[in-house]
Amino acid sequence: MLRNKRVVSFALSFVLLLGLVLIPNQFAFAEEVQTLTIVHVNDVHGRVEENAGSKELGFAKLKTKVDLLKEEDPNLLFLNAGDALHGTTIVNLTSGEQMVEIMNAMGFDAMTPGNHDFNYGYEQLMKLKGMAEFPILGANIVHEDSGDSDFDPYVIYTMDNGLKVGIFGLGTDETKYKSSPKNTEGIEFLDVVETGKEMVDELEDKADIIIALVHLGDDASSVNTSVKLANEVEGIDLIVDGHSHTLLPEGNLVNGTLIVQAESYTKNIGIVKMEITDGELTKATASLMPYEEAATLEADEEIVSMIAETKAVNDPIVSVVVGKTLVELDGVREHVRAGETNLGNLITDAMRISTGADVAFTNGGGIRASIDAGDITVNEVLTSFPFTNTLAVIDVTGAELKAAIEHGVKDFPAPAGQFPHVSGMKYTFDAGKPAGERVTEVVVGTEPLDMEKTYKLVTNDFVAIGGDGYTMFANKPFVGEGGLLSDVLMEYIEANPEINPAVEGRITAIPAPPAPAPEPEPAPAPAPKHIEYIVKPGDWLSKIGIKYGVDWKVLAEHNNLKNPDLIFPNQVIMIPQ
């Protein structure tokens, strides 16, 4: 695409120059400038309602802003970079169907599926795709046996100003273990770089602007990221990204490609303004409208009504109080993915007590929100544990349990979804050691871990079948099963109606030693001091040297004199000191 644009631009410049030479001052050629506005969100996770406490805008005011921007520039596309269909009670109770209805009313132009959009299962995702009035794009998501895809690879929009915009979608291969593996059985995620190159080749002669709508992220623990895509695929004008919940206030320019991401949960509205001059992209600026600014907008009445109708059906179920907590239950993403929290302890205690297992083990990525101190409602539990995961009990050896912990802490201190929360055991790891060699101590009950012994471990069925990379658990038969994670927690709270969980030292991280301070650079040698002497008539070099006690040869070398016998009046001679 860009190569063709440069050729066209050069040819057009030549024609204009020739015309000016042959027919001067008779014609003036105005540049044709076309505009394009992109509004983008990512990792909404079902947050359609405004939540001032969490600074989540919701969809009603988001719709208002999109409409206002469309009045300013009708050449506007509204894009969703995935993880939209699952995550809160209001959308989970209808398996994402009400979310799609609301998204249709919002006027989205395209979406790519995130890993959590597969959480209801592949068949349900296909149903949701069929309900959507916008394309769900997945160029690299194919069936393993046939190589065919149920997703459109790309879409081309012709804007009011005639601009053609090609958008292709890419999903993350981490979906294979960051949604339950059973949700993508028989599905393959092709290499994002090779697929990206194929899409650019397909679109460069069909579109003026090429946009990659991706759910890849830029986490250090991920391999196939949006940064890798930008570095290795030429010809993409804009990458609209999701997955890592990254805040990019002005975007990230990588190898000439602008990458944008708007954090998550509608905390920001992403806006990209583009100018295309004579067929070539000449300007692209990214910005975010934060919650504090957008909160003053009027809410769109249609969206408000749709949300209210959905809540009316759900409210009698989810507003029930199941118990009380004396302290806030910490489910902050950065905390549960990198350390022990009281909510992680609470859920693993509930899992272990529910099944009678020796130890409980769950991934921090499954904990999605905090719960405020005070009454605990069904809605709060379902928001914190929105996934439809059930308990699974498996037999593991001490060696397998240690390997699982090693896997869980391999990315520390970077937050990672596989970080393990535990009950019935505690562990210590040294962050200064290489990944795979970090765990220094594991205690089960009051006894050191026995590498040969078999333990009954309860986890969620996502982790039990290898989710989040826990391959050491995959293919093990379930020796026991339990209810939904959310139900198990509510049962535990109902049995203990006033709870006060704490961080107890179940997980100890020995921090890595600080990196050695760099060697200080040697101080620069002081500049030589000298006296400036102005040559007078009758001076010669040795006479000047005698006056200052410096040999004439030193003066000649210090002043780079090619002929020491030839100096002139008013010439400056530097006398070294």
> Which string of DSSP letters, residue by residue, matches 250-302?
T-EEETTEEEE-B-STTSEEEEEEEEEETTEEEEEEEEEEEHHHHTTSPPPHH
Strand (E) or helix (H) holding 194: helix 192-203
How buried is 562 (Cβ within 10 angstroms: 0-12 exposed, 13-18 middle, 19+ buried)? Answer: exposed
pLDDT at 101 over 70: yes
Q: What is the pLDDT of residue 10?
A: 32
pLDDT, one tens digit per residue, over 333-358 is: 999 999 999 999 999 999 999 999 99
Confidence label for 16 from pLDDT (cuts 50, 70 and 90): very low
Helices and strands of the chain, counted as H and E runs: 18, 27
What are phi and psi for residue 533, nearest 5 degrees?
-115, 130
Residues 114, 119, 123: CA angle, nearest 5 degrees: 100
**3-state SS class at 93:** coil
Across the range 131-144, mean pLDDT stands at 98
For tokens 């107890």, what's the residue? Answer: 504
3-state SS class at 376: strand
Judge whether residue 104 has pLDDT over 80.
yes
Given pLDDT bands bounded at 50, 70 and 90, which one contains residue 152? Answer: very high
Close Cβ partners of 71 (under 8 Å, ≥ 6 residues apart):
none
pLDDT at 400: 98
Q: Which residue has the higher pLDDT, 520 or 458?
A: 458
Nearby residues of 83 by Cβ (< 8 Å), 6 or more positions away: 42, 43, 44, 45, 114, 115, 116, 117, 215, 242, 243
Report the SS3 class of residue 134.
coil
The token pair at 153 is: 């690879």
Distances (CA, A) of 207 to 204, 319, 505, 508: 6, 50, 57, 54
310 phi and psi, to 5 degrees? -65, -45
What is the C-alpha separation between 254 and 165, in angstroms, rounded?
A: 21
**Calpha distance 51→53 (Å, rounded):** 6
- The pLDDT of residue 30 is 62
| pLDDT recorded at residue 427 | 98
> How sure is the predictor about 190, in pLDDT bands with cuts at 50, 70 and 90?
very high
Sign of torsion over alpha carbons 87, 88, 92, 96: negative
* Residue 395 pLDDT: 96
* Other CB atoms within 10 A of residue 561 CB: 16
Given its phi and psi angles, is residue 416 left (phi above 0), alpha (psi -120 to 50 degrees) or beta? beta
- Flag whether pLDDT at 23 surpasses 50: no
* Residue 572 clears pLDDT 80, i.e. is over it: yes
Tokens 């190159």 belong to which residue? Answer: 197
Mean pLDDT, residues 190-216 taken together: 98
Which range (93-102, 414-423, 512-521) has the least confidence? 512-521
Residue 17 has pLDDT above 60, yes or no: no
* Gap between the Cα atoms of 318 and 323, Å rounded: 13
User: 150, 129 in Cβ contact below 8 A?
Assistant: yes
Residue 164 amino acid letter: K
Residue 226 corresponds to which tokens in the numbers above? 């949006």
- Check: CB of residue 276 under 8 Å from CB of residue 251: no
Instruction: Return the beta strands (E) in 205-246 as ranges.
Output: 209-214, 238-240
54 CB-side CA count, 13 A: 21
- Of 482, 477, 449, nearest to 464 by C-alpha is 477
DSSP string across 483-546: EEHHHHHHHHHHHSSEE-----SSEEEEPPPPPPPPPPPPPPPPPPPEEEEE--TT--HHHHHH
pLDDT value, residue 5: 41
What pLDDT sits at residue 29? 53
Segment among 76-80, 84-88, 223-227, 242-246 with least mean pLDDT: 84-88
Least confident of 185-194, 277-286, 547-556: 547-556
- Work out the average pLDDT over 502-510: 97
Closest-CA residue to 207 (of 234, 152, 168): 168
CA separation for the pair 492, 487 (Å, rounded):
9
**Run of H or E including 110:** strand 110-111
Task: Name the token pair of 509.
Answer: 């991280």
Dig out the tokens for 2 from the structure.
């860009």
User: Given pLDDT bands bounded at 50, 70 and 90, which one contains residue 528?
Assistant: low
pTM: 0.70
The structure tokens listed for 158 are 């012709």
Q: What is the mean pLDDT of residues 222-241?
A: 97
- DSSP-derived letter for residue 183 is G
Q: What is the pLDDT of residues 245-255, one digit of tens each?
A: 999 999 999 99
97-106 vs 59-72: helix crossing angle, rounded to 10: 30
Inform me whether the pLDDT recorded for 429 exceeds 50. yes
**Mean pLDDT over residues 23-35, rounded?**
63
3-state SS class at 174: coil
pLDDT at 534 over 60: yes
Is the pLDDT at 493 greater than 90? The verdict is yes
Alpha-carbon distance 179 to 304, whole Å?
30
Least confident of 172-186, 191-205, 235-249, 433-447: 172-186
Please, which pLDDT band fits residue 7 given cuts at 50, 70 and 90?
very low
Q: How confident is the model at residue 469 (pLDDT cuts 50, 70, 90)?
A: very high
* Per-residue pLDDT, 483: 79
Report pLDDT for 564: 83
pLDDT at 300 over 80: yes
| pLDDT(88) > 50 | yes
pLDDT tens, position by position, 362-410: 999 999 999 999 999 999 999 999 887 889 999 999 999 999 999 999 9
Residue 365 to residue 335: CA distance in whole angstroms: 10
Q: Which residue has the higher pLDDT, 504 or 178?
A: 504
Give 24's pLDDT tier (boundaries 50, 70, 90).
very low
Q: Which range among 35-49, 299-313, 543-557 shows the weakest confidence by mean pLDDT?
A: 543-557
CA 135 from chain centre, in angstroms, equals: 22
Mean pLDDT to the nearest integer, 92-101: 91
pLDDT at 21: 40
Average pLDDT, the chain: 91
Run of H or E including 230: helix 226-232
The predicted structure's pLDDT at residue 155: 98
